[in-house]
Structure 1
Amino acid sequence: MQLEAYKRYETRDPETAEAEVAKLLSPGHLVVRAEDRPRFAALASLADTGPVGIGFMRYGAATTIERRASSPYVGVAIPLTGHMKVWLDGRPAEVRAGASMAVIGANDPLRFEWAEGCDVLVLRVSTAFLASTARAFRDDELPLPARSAHRVFSLARGHALCSAASLLVETLGRYRSTADVPRGLLHLLAEHACSALLLGLAQEGPTTARRPHAAPSDAVRSAIRLIDEERAAELNVGELARHVGVSVRALELGFRRALDETPHQYMVRTRLRKAHRDLLAADVRDGRTVTEIAARWGFFHPGRFAARYQAVYGVAPSTSLRSPTA
C-alpha cells in the first residue's frame, strides 16, 4: 500500500467505510450491492499537510459513492489500477489507470462508481488555500475557470499534476508522520501541488488578445533580493509574485527582460550555489548529509540533485561534503 505509515482505516464494513470517508473528504452515501459485499475491503491512507493532502484508497468490490453536500476540498483522483466512472453533467465519463484522472469540484453533486480492483491515488486541496494561491495567478490574459465543476483530464494533459502528487507520495513516504517533516518542506510541497492544480484548471479558461505586461524593474529587484536572502528554500514563484505585488506571468516576463531567465531558473541556480556553500562548510562529524543539505534548499530528489550539482561543479556533492573547509 502507498503511504503505509499514514493509514486511516481498513474495514470490511461499508457503513464504517462511509463514516470514515466523510472524515477524510466529505459526507456522502456509499452503496455496495449485496452480491459484492463479500469482496468489499476498504482501505485508505492520507498524509495531511493542512492545506493539501495525499492519500491512497481502495474498496475491493464494485462501489458507488454519492455526495450531495459541498466539500471544503477540490480533489484529484488518479487511478493506479483498474478504472472508475464519474458523472459529468449527468453523463458517465470513464477514468482509467494509465490514461486519465478526475478533478472533483467542491460544490457540485458527485457520483462515483469504482470498479472492482480499482486502486486510486487521491490528492485533495482545500478551497481556501486554492483561492489564496490563485490570486498570484490572476492575469488579464489568463482568467481562471470556475472550479466547482468536475472534469476528466488525460494523463498527458495533467502531467504536472501527476508529478506533484508523485512528489508528495515520494517525499512524505519517507516520514512516519507529517509532524516529522520540516515545515518549510511541507509548505513547498503544498504550494507546488496547489499551483499544478491551478495551472491545469486554467488550461480550460478562455484567453484574450490583451498582451500581458512585464513586472516593473523594482518588482524584479525585490524578487531577486528575496531569493538571495533566503536562509532555506521557503518561497515558490507564486509566493514570490505575491510578495512583490505582481502576477506570476508578469514576474516571468520581467525576469526574462532583466536576466534572460525565469524566476524559477534563477531560484534553482541560487539555491544550488547555497547548497554548494553549505556542503563545503559542513562537518561530516556532526552528522550532516548531502540529502539533508539538498532538502534544505528545495532539492528533494537525491539523484536529480547529484546530477545537477555535478554538471555545474564537476564533482559529486558527496565529494564536496568530504572536502576540508576552505
Structure 2
Amino acid sequence: MFCAQDVQTGLSACIDAAAPASVAPVLSASSLAGLLRRAHDNLKNRHALGQPPAELAFYGGTFTAMPLPEQTACLDLAQKALERGWIHSFRCSTRPDCVDAVVLDRLRAAGCGCVELGVQSFADDALVASKRGYDGATALRACAYVKEAGLTLGVQLLPGMPGHTPDDFLRDVPLALAAGADMLRFYPCLVLEGTALARMWRQGLYSPWGLKDTLDCLAQGWLLAQKARVPVIRMGLAPEASLDAALLAGPVDPALGSRVMGRALLLAVRQHLEQLAVASDADAPPVLQALCAPSSCQGYIWGMRGELRAAWANLGLPPDGLIFDPACGQTLRLTVTA
C-alpha cells in the first residue's frame, strides 16, 4: 500500500515488503540469479582480501513469501558462504503473517541468525486502515515464533501510517520490547509516488505526521528503548536519489536520527529533574547547573544548528555548563541546585 521498494533501495526490480503475501514478487528469477552471483563474488573477494566474515542480509522484500525455488537459491548461497567462512550468519526481513515454526527452523538450519519483522504497528485500527492483512495478535505471535526459534528479533515500526496515532506508537514500542525485540527500526511513514498511499494523499484521505510531532514522538520511543537497553538501529529511510525524486509528503529529514536523539536526551534530563522535584516535595524542578555527557553525544545534544540550546537554558544549564567526558561512559551526570 505504501511501500515502493524500487525507490527505497535504488533497484528497479525488487519485492514489495508491504504487499500481502499473496502478491507475487516483481523480481524475476534471472534478476535474482544475477544479484546472487554478484553477492557470491563480493563475498569471495572479501575473503580473499583477508577481511573477516560478514553478515549477509536479504532485505527489500518479504523473504519468506518468495517462491520456494528463489528462496532456496538464496539459502543455498548463504549455506555455501557460511561453510567457506565468508559469512558468520545471515538475516532477512519479512512480514509477521509469513513466519511460523517450520519456516523459521528452515532459516536457522541454513545459518540465519536474525529475522526482522515488518510489524509496522500492533494497533488493530491502524493495521486495518493500512490494509496490512493481519492484526496485532498475529504480529505478537510472529515475534514469539522468532524468539522460540532461538533467533535474534528485529521489529520495524512505521509511525504515522494510516490510522496510526502518536499514542499508538508509544504503545507499539513497549509492546515490541515486551515481545522480546533485540533491536528496533523506526521508519516514519512517507508518501511516495506510485503507491496506493499517494492516491489516498491526493484524495485528501491521508495526511502524514508533521516533522515536529514526529521528532517529539520518536524521541519518546527512542528513550523507552534505551531504558530497556534495546538499540534503535535505524530511524528513517536511507538516503537515495530515487527516493528523493519519488517523495511527495511526509516527515523526512537527513538529520532525523540525531535530531531525535538530541530531543530524547533533553527529555530524559527534564524527566529526571521532575522526579527530583517530586521526591523533595518542591514546588518547582531543581535547576540544572552542569551536565557531563559522553563524547558520543557531542554531535547532537544541542540539536540541529543549536535548535535545543534554548530548551537546555530553560532547565538552567549555563552556556559553559556542558562537559563532554569519555569517562562518563554511556551515562549523563547532572549537577543540580534546589
Q: Same fold (TM over 0.5)?
A: no
- Calculate the TM-score normalised by the size of structure 2: 0.29
Q: Would you tell me which structure has more strand in proportion to its own residues?
A: 1
Q: TM-score, normalised by structure 1?
A: 0.29
